[in-house]
Amino acid sequence: MHPARKQKLMIVLFILLGSMVTVGLILVAFNEGLNVFFTPTEVAEGKVEAGQNFRIGGMVKMGSVVKEGLEGTDIEFIATDTNKDVSVRYTGVLPDLFREGQGVVADGYLDENGVFQATQILAKHDENYMSAEVKSALDAGERKQAEAAMAAGQTP
C-alpha cells in the first residue's frame, strides 16, 4: 500500500476508534440514567428518591388486577419482576394490550405508603408475533410438558 494511503487509512481508523471510545465513556457515565424505567427490585434497593417522578416497569401479576368505580376506571394492580412486587394505582383508560402476565410501564411516583400512583400506563409488548392458532397450540404444548414433568416427578 502506498504510504500516503496508509496514513489516510490510519486517520479513518483513528476517527472510528476515537468516536467509539468517546461515546462509550459518555454512555458509561450516564449508566442507568438511560433506562426508561426502574424495576421493582431497583425500587426496593432504594435507587429512586422518595417523591421523585419516575417510571416503573414489570409484569402485571396474574390475578392482581382490580377494577373499581362506575366505569371500572379506578384500577389497581401489582407490577412484579418475580423478585419484588409494587402496588400500582391508576385512574383512567388502559391501553388495549394491558393484560395480566404482560409487560407494563407506568409513569408516576411512590406515595408515603409505598403505593405507586400512576399518571400514565403504557403496555410493553414482547418480541413474539403469531396467530391465535399458533398461540393456543404453543400453550397446549407447554401444558403437556408441565403435566409430563409433574407425572415424572410423582413416580420416583
Q: Which residues bind other proteins (CB under 8 A)?
A: 1-2, 5, 8-9, 11-12, 15-16, 19-20, 22-23, 27, 34-39, 57, 94-99, 105, 120-135, 137-138, 141
Among residues 5 and 69, whose Cβ is nearest to other proteins?
Answer: 5
User: Nearer to other proteins by C-beta: 15 or 149?
Assistant: 15
CB of 87 within 8 A of CB of 60?
no
In the complex, the smallest distance separating the C-beta of residue 88 from other proteins, rounded to whole angstroms, is: 14
Considering beta carbons, is residue 81 or 110 the nearer one to other proteins?
81
Q: How far apart are CA 50 and CA 48, in angstroms?
A: 6
Q: Do β-strands 116-124 and 85-91 pair in parallel, antiparallel, or remain unpaired?
A: parallel
Give the integer Cα–Cα distance in Å for 151 and 109: 46
Nearer to other proteins, 114 or 141 (CB): 141
Shortest distance in whole angstroms from residue 50 CB to other proteins: 21
User: Least separation, in Å, of the C-beta of 155 and other proteins?
Assistant: 28
Name residue 23's beta-bridge partners: none
Residues 6+ apart with CB under 8 A from 34: 27
CA distance 108 to 88: 9
- Closest approach, Cβ 69 to other proteins, in A, equals 19
CB of 44 to other proteins, least distance (A): 16
Q: Determine contact, residues 108/117, Cβ cutoff 8 Å.
A: yes
